[in-house]
A and B are shown apart, each in its own frame.
Chain A
């Protein structure tokens, strides 16, 4: 067992699951989407990106690209949330703003799923 692979797989999967946890629920209901979960998803996604840095294979490059997409989407979601809760000052968030945040995280979830699919494909292709 390769410990490095465990860490790698762990973070990729965790990024996807946290993202999914935040995303699931009614798209415009702020009660169903916990901000701490978004925060965790963003941090884990960033760490997953850093773990993917410096892999010189083609699959490594695709991995990195999907992670960057997820980061971008989650950052955008966090920024929209920050704008909605502090600049417009609504507490709890309005339905339209919640929908924006959640749909952005939905995009990130798609990227994270691609990452997971690549991880699985790579594992299956491994002959040893």
Chain B
């Protein structure tokens, strides 16, 4: 009778599934109770005044009800005859069988994995449907996923998590997020799963694809591209082929951690100041950046010619730095010095010329090997600049103990990149400007910024001058007032002091963009500003542009009257 075209909602089908399973026990119960009742009404009772008394349906049903439920009030309205007792004996055992069967079915149903999954899915999609705040769809809750979720949670965003591994999905509950995080254990590569996780939900503001396999990330990207084209998609790609594939259908942001790092190393080699500025701007807010040694030019050693090693080699070739490679399996088609051997021992390192090497990259896919290489290298040459690749987050204690110059942690690179893109879309064009500017300019900006704010990673945020984000300022600008950027950067506690923040970038609707806008730049309605500063300065700035009173004070020095009523009085 079920038509293949009918597609009832999930909620409906779970209810129907329970009902179908309970059909047999319920019918059995009805049959047992009704035959018991019928029997009782037909069997002659005790003789009173020479006339056999029969139980009516009313009394029979009453009696069977309390007998079948093991309550047992006794024999009413008269003591039973022996025929009746014989029948009641059958009824008692029959009803016990009926109940045992029903309860057994109910428990089997509750323990049913399919049903549990169906209920979990139902709860999940209901929780997602009811999300009233903007949320990110995070696919994959590994190390990176966890870092991103924690940071998003701190910033007050909601998340929905899909993770294929049950243990990892369980970790979401263990970490105490401020808001509830709906989590589903399922393969995120399935478009249906993505839809019930809120891909097409009006409050979904972004998809972050961090699944373990490239295939899954690819599937997520293409689903998002087709089902929710307006959403920004951030996807991790482990190989260049996947990245190219994702780019081919317009995935907004593709993050390959190793490629990202090799670019940044390339930048560090030819423009140290720009590189410092980038690390300072894209770190985790609040963490202090140690001013790194700049990677030196000179002879480098690369241990491990894998995915990461190859990208590092490309970056160094771009800067024409001589490199010696140590690996177990040499490849013939590479025109670099090549030493076949085990880099963890001093022999291979010495053969590669560690004694006068400027730097060393330990980038095998084993954390222990990398540490071993780095420690040996340090012993042989104290001044070597060491870049070390950390594969697993669980080994972080070892990596912290060994003071490398740079530790490359793929999960952190992805997390930083995602957060920078998500929280401040304006940051990407600004970073692009930094990469293109010359060394002198970067150095000037870095000194100017760090002198004001120190080496702690600043909070970076953007503000659009529109009615929702900056009602007070927007209203004034629409009235035709001219307000300079400098004016709104004052503190509303004391208008002769500046807030601890700087405007980095200003983007206008007509594709006009100003890098480090001058103090006298007039603000236009619709402008978008990128600012960096202390976390407190952000709140103060948002009050400045959003609150009529604060804005009036910093612009004029006058206090506005408190409320509508006082304003009415004040006019007279």
Show the binding face of A for B, using Cβ within 8 Å.
Answer: 35-36, 39, 43, 46-47, 50-51, 53-60, 78, 81-82, 85-86
B553 CB to nearest chain A CB (Å): 65
B39 CB to nearest chain A CB (Å): 12
A118 CB to nearest chain B CB (Å): 12
Number of interface residues of B (CB under 8 A): 25
- Please measure, in the bound complex, the distance between the C-alpha atom of A56 and the C-alpha atom of B12, giving whole angstroms: 8
Task: Answer yes or no: B239 CB below 8 A from chain A CBs.
Answer: no
Asked if B2 and A56 make an inter-chain contact with CB atoms under 8 angstroms apart, the answer reads yes
Asked if B1 and A50 make an inter-chain contact with CB atoms under 8 angstroms apart, the answer reads no
- Please measure, in the bound complex, the distance between the C-alpha atom of A50 and the C-alpha atom of B209, giving whole angstroms: 47
Contacts of A51 in B (CB 8 A): 23, 27
Task: Answer yes or no: B570 CB below 8 A from chain A CBs.
Answer: no
Asked if A53 and B19 make an inter-chain contact with CB atoms under 8 angstroms apart, the answer reads yes
- Please measure, in the bound complex, the distance between the C-alpha atom of A36 and the C-alpha atom of B31, giving whole angstroms: 15
Known: A54-B23, A56-B2, A56-B6. 8 other contacts (CB 8 A): A46-B34, A47-B27, A47-B31, A53-B23, A56-B16, A60-B1, A82-B57, A85-B58
Task: Answer yes or no: B26 CB below 8 A from chain A CBs.
Answer: yes
Asked if B2 and A54 make an inter-chain contact with CB atoms under 8 angstroms apart, the answer reads no
Show the binding face of B for A, using Cβ within 8 Å.
Answer: 1-3, 6, 8, 12-13, 16-17, 19-20, 22-23, 26-27, 30-31, 34, 37-38, 41, 56-59
The contact of A86 among B12, B30, B34, B56, by CB within 8 Å, is: B56
Contacts of B16 in A (CB 8 A): 53-56
Contacts of B34 in A (CB 8 A): 39, 43, 46
Asked if B58 and A82 make an inter-chain contact with CB atoms under 8 angstroms apart, the answer reads yes
Whose C-beta in chain B lies nearest to the C-beta of A39? B57
Contacts of A46 in B (CB 8 A): 30, 34
Whose C-beta in chain A lies nearest to the C-beta of B29? A50
Asked if A85 and B56 make an inter-chain contact with CB atoms under 8 angstroms apart, the answer reads yes
A54-B3 contact in complex given A35-B57, A39-B57, A85-B56, C-beta closer than 8 Å: no
Contacts of A85 in B (CB 8 A): 56, 58
Contacts of A58 in B (CB 8 A): 6
Identify 19 residue pairs between A and B in the complex whose beta-carbon atoms are under 8 Å apart, listed by A's number.
A36-B38, A36-B41, A43-B31, A46-B30, A50-B26, A51-B23, A51-B27, A53-B19, A53-B22, A53-B26, A54-B16, A54-B20, A54-B23, A55-B16, A56-B16, A57-B3, A58-B6, A59-B1, A86-B58
- Among A56, A78, A86, the one with the most B-chain Cβ atoms within 10 Å of its Cβ is A56
The contact of A57 among B2, B17, B23, B37, by CB within 8 Å, is: B2
- Please measure, in the bound complex, the distance between the C-alpha atom of A102 and the C-alpha atom of B229, giving whole angstroms: 64
Contacts of B12 in A (CB 8 A): 56
Contacts of B59 in A (CB 8 A): 86
B259 CB to nearest chain A CB (Å): 51
A3 CB to nearest chain B CB (Å): 15
Contacts of A78 in B (CB 8 A): 57
Asked if B13 and A56 make an inter-chain contact with CB atoms under 8 angstroms apart, the answer reads yes
- Please measure, in the bound complex, the distance between the C-alpha atom of A82 and the C-alpha atom of B58, giving whole angstroms: 6
The contact of A54 among B19, B31, B37, B41, by CB within 8 Å, is: B19
- Please measure, in the bound complex, the distance between the C-alpha atom of A24 and the C-alpha atom of B37, giving whole angstroms: 25
Asked if A50 and B57 make an inter-chain contact with CB atoms under 8 angstroms apart, the answer reads no
B8 CB to nearest chain A CB (Å): 5
Contacts of A47 in B (CB 8 A): 27, 30-31
The contact of A39 among B13, B17, B22, B37, by CB within 8 Å, is: B37
- Please measure, in the bound complex, the distance between the C-alpha atom of A46 and the C-alpha atom of B2, giving whole angstroms: 23
Contacts of A60 in B (CB 8 A): 1
- Please measure, in the bound complex, the distance between the C-alpha atom of A56 and the C-alpha atom of B9, giving whole angstroms: 10
For the complex of A and B, the 8 pairs showing the least CB-CB separation, nearest first, are: A54-B20, A43-B34, A53-B19, A54-B19, A82-B58, A50-B27, A54-B16, A46-B30
A53-B20 contact in complex given A35-B57, A82-B57, C-beta closer than 8 Å: yes
A54-B17 contact in complex given A82-B57, A85-B56, C-beta closer than 8 Å: yes
B24 CB to nearest chain A CB (Å): 9
A14 CB to nearest chain B CB (Å): 13
B107 CB to nearest chain A CB (Å): 19
B42 CB to nearest chain A CB (Å): 9
Contacts of A43 in B (CB 8 A): 30-31, 34
Whose C-beta in chain A lies nearest to the C-beta of B7? A56
Whose C-beta in chain A lies nearest to the C-beta of B3? A57
A114 CB to nearest chain B CB (Å): 18
- Please measure, in the bound complex, the distance between the C-alpha atom of A86 and the C-alpha atom of B55, giving whole angstroms: 12
Whose C-beta in chain A lies nearest to the C-beta of B22? A53
